[in-house]
A and B are shown apart, each in its own frame.
Chain A
Amino acid sequence: MRILVAEDDKDTAEFIQKGLREAGHNVLLTPDGLDALHLLSTEQVDVAVLDRMMPRLDGLSVIRRARAAGVETPVLLLTALGRIDDRVSGLEAGADDYVVKPFAFSELIARLNALCRRKPLQNDPTQLQHQGVVMDLLKRQVLRDGVVVNLQPREFRILEELLREEGKVVTRTMLLERVWNYHFDPQTNIVDTHISRLRSKLNEGGKPDLIETIRGVGYRMADA
């Protein structure tokens, strides 16, 4: 992926750049908001990471102006404070996602992956599948190897998110946001509890485990 990173704090910028390069991505780095706006409108990038506070032009203005100019590149906003105002104003300006500093790098990369994948899937599929697990989104039904698996609504939603990310990591906070619609970390084990239920239902009859736990980060669909 080609990723634009606009961040004026040198340490953070280097940390992000290094991590993304190690993950095999192409990084365009700038410490300046006006520059970021220019790059966003002229260069072909898959996703952009913008800091909220930048010299010359702040992140929100960059997004607003880019969106006004018809740029549809997915944008992830970095904010220093996870305050409700910040989140609301960021999303209103046209950001697609946001991450609160300080953040774990695994969280950032999982969200960037998700943002990139969201684009081509705009005409929603009616069926998701992975290694014998088939999810019918219209009938709200899950089959594993042709056998119906009865899932609670939240277990269904979790599995749906995991299947949509096609083997990429979905973090705990992403699940809390998407399944529960909570933008705070409740410091609870409800995600883990639901995953363990989902897992035991999917694996019933001694079938191999398809949900891989990435410790301290999240979960992903794995090959058996």
Chain B
Amino acid sequence: MRKWRSSSAYRIAFVALGAVLLGLAVLGGLVFVAMHVAFTRQLDATITDESRTLVDEFHGDGEAELRQAIADREASKSRQRLMYAVFAPDGRRLYGSLRASRPELGMHNIEFVDPDEGPDEARGLGVDLSRNERLLVAADREWIERIDHTNLELFAAAFLAACLLGFAGATGLAGYLERRLRSISDSAEAIIGGDTRKRMPVSGRRDEFDRLASTLNRMLDRIEGLLENLRQVSNDIAHDLRTPLARLRNQLERGSVEGADAVIGDAIRQVDDVLELFAAILRLAEVESGETKRYFRPVDFTALATELGESYAPAFEDEGRHFLWSIKSGLIVNGDRELLAQAIVNLLENAQRHTPAEALVRMMAYAADQCVCLQVADTGPGVPKAELSRITKRFARLDSSRNTAGHGLGLSLVRAVANLHGGRLILKSADPGLIAVIELPRSSASAPERGSNDPKAAGA
């Protein structure tokens, strides 16, 4: 049966059936033997009792009474029929109608001749009455055989029924399992065939097949989301690359006419721009992959933010912006110092890039509940509320900032870094201006010793 070999549904169903039938056969055999033994014992007990009664009669009342008692019993048909005979030492039957030869002492299977049915087997007990006489009390085993026979027939019928029912059940079960599995594999085939929207069927029974199907469906949704993301990113990259490359081409074309060194300088800048874009894409991918988590260690966030505040103050000042910063002491975050630095740098760069001169930029680092927060707020034009959720997407740029430098990857990276550290990036409108908050889980590591607990604040 090929199906049986190649289908584990069938194999499982039939192995289970085989086990049940084997169990049934063993049980039946045990019951049969136990009943046989019990009935034989009961028969032996009856024979023993009867022979004891007759022996007592012989010793109490003499041989004549025994002869009478045997004759009476043989005449009565009411009870289970026992058979009797008394033998002389030479084997001669003295009285009693049982036609058998002189027995050995004790309980044996004996042969006798049934007046109706011819030679037959019986259970018989030989007992000596006196030196010259041996009593044999026997019972035909026929009724035990009849019970055995009935038992066997009943059992065979039950076994056959179990076989048929089991076979039908196993075939049905295997077919059912195979059908459910095939519906999943058919869907998978359809997806392989290109129908990526196809999903595993869910029957609504909430059984393990449904659970498997919905897990697979979730996986497919996730994969599709990732693919969609990938498609989106490739499109965006292609689109974002075309602009600088087209500009580069135009410049080179101009250079081939004019042959100026300045054109080469510009061209190098354009190429650097493209290389920067690729570096940013790769870095974002690295952060999003989560691989860098291995290098996490406690980072002195206070020192990091202070350092960045000090480094950026001159840059803001030189361009005519006001920069205020205040950083609480003792902030520790478990993470990657460089990535955290880059996230903060990106927020500060944005504040620098997208605000007019005279704007006020404030950076704050503080602890709140279980978080360490870093906030950068500006008084620039801000971001329209409807756009707030969009600007952390890759390559997302507001129309108003199309002409400023950047690739639209800065906030994506900030968000990716926050997520990598188990935190999040929150963007709020400040009317006017934008508030960006990086919320990071506070490290369980204790803060390094610091001179004072006073908030360290400095102004530009």
Which residue numbers of A lie inside 8 Å of B, CB to CB? 81-85, 88, 102, 152-154, 180-190, 193-194, 196-197, 215-216
Whether B283 pairs with A194 at a CB distance below 8 angstroms is no
**Residues B276 and A187 in contact, CB atoms below 8 Å apart:** yes
| A152 touching B345, Cβ below 8 Å | no
A180 CB contact (under 8 Å) in B268, B311, B314: B311
What B residues does A197 contact at CB under 8 A? 314
Q: A184 contacts B342, CB within 8 Å?
A: yes
Q: For the complex, what is the distance from the CA of A81 to the CA of B286, rounded to whole Å?
A: 10
With A82-B279, A102-B275, A187-B349 already in contact, the answer to whether A216 and B268 are too (CB < 8 A) is: yes
B residues sitting closer than 8 Å to A (CB atoms) are 265, 268-269, 272, 275-276, 279-280, 282-283, 286, 291-292, 294-295, 307, 310-312, 314-315, 318, 336-338, 341-342, 345-346, 348-349
Chain A residues with CB under 8 Å of B265's CB are 215-216
Q: CB-CB < 8 A to A83: which residues of B?
A: 282, 286, 291
Task: Report 22 cross-chain contacts, Cβ distance below 8 Å, ordered by A residue.
Answer: A83-B282, A83-B286, A83-B291, A84-B286, A84-B336, A88-B295, A102-B275, A180-B341, A182-B341, A183-B338, A184-B338, A184-B341, A186-B345, A187-B276, A187-B349, A188-B345, A188-B349, A190-B311, A190-B315, A194-B311, A215-B265, A216-B265
A188 to B410 CA separation, bound complex (whole angstroms):
12
B338 touches A182 (CB 8 A): yes
Extra 10 A-B pairs, beta carbons < 8 Å, given A186-B349, A197-B314: A81-B282, A82-B282, A84-B286, A85-B292, A180-B311, A185-B279, A186-B341, A187-B280, A190-B312, A190-B315
CA gap between A197 and B282 in the complex, in Å = 33
Query: Which residues of chain B come closer than 8 Å to A216, judged between CB atoms?
Result: 265, 268-269, 272
Partner of B283, one of A152, A184, A190: A184
Main secondary structure of the interface of B (DSSP, over half): helix
Q: How far is the CA of A188 from the CA of B276 in the complex (A)?
A: 12
Q: Which A residues touch B314, using CB under 8 A?
A: 193-194, 197
A153 to B313, alpha carbons, bound, how many Å? 14
Is A188 a contact of B315 with CB atoms below 8 Å? yes
Pick the contact of A85: B272, B291, B345 (CB < 8 A).
B291
A interface majority secondary structure: loop
Q: Are A180 and B307 touching (Cβ within 8 A)?
A: yes
User: Interface centre among A102, A154, A186, by most B CB within 10 Å?
Assistant: A186
Chain A nearest CB from B342 CB (Å) reads 6
Nearest Cβ on chain B to A14's Cβ, whole angstroms? 20
CB-CB nearest in chain B for A103: B275
Q: Tell me the bound Cα distance from A153 to B314 in angstroms.
A: 13
A189 touches B276 (CB 8 A): no
**Distance, CA A193 to CA B307, complexed state (A):** 15
**Nearest B residue to A194, CB-CB:** B314
Contact, CB under 8 Å: B318 / A196: yes
Given contacts A184-B338, A188-B315, A196-B318, contact A152 B286 (CB under 8 A): no
User: Cβ of A189: which chain B residues have Cβ within 8 Å of it?
Assistant: 315
- B283 engages A193 (CB within 8 Å): no
Least CB separation from B407: chain A residue = A187
Distance in angstroms from B126 CB to nearest chain A CB is 98
CB distance from A47 to the nearest CB of B (A): 25
The CA-CA distance from A2 to B42 in the complex, in Å, is: 112
Smallest CB-CB separation from B271: which chain A residue? A102
Please indicate the chain B residues that have their CB under 8 angstroms from the CB of A193 in the complex. Answer: 314-315, 318
Alpha-carbon distance between A82 and B276 when the two chains are bound, in angstroms: 12
Q: Which of A182, A183, A215 has the most B CB atoms < 10 Å from its CB?
A: A182
Contacts of B341 in A (CB 8 A): 180, 182, 184, 186
Give the chain B neighbours of A188 by CB distance below 8 A: 315, 345, 348-349
Docked complex Cα distance between A189 and B312 (Å):
9
Q: What A residues does B291 contact at CB under 8 A?
A: 83, 85
Which residues does chain B contribute within 8 Å of A215, judged by CB atoms?
265
Cβ of A176 to closest chain B Cβ, rounded Å: 10
Inter-chain CA distance A186–B269, complex, in Å, is 17
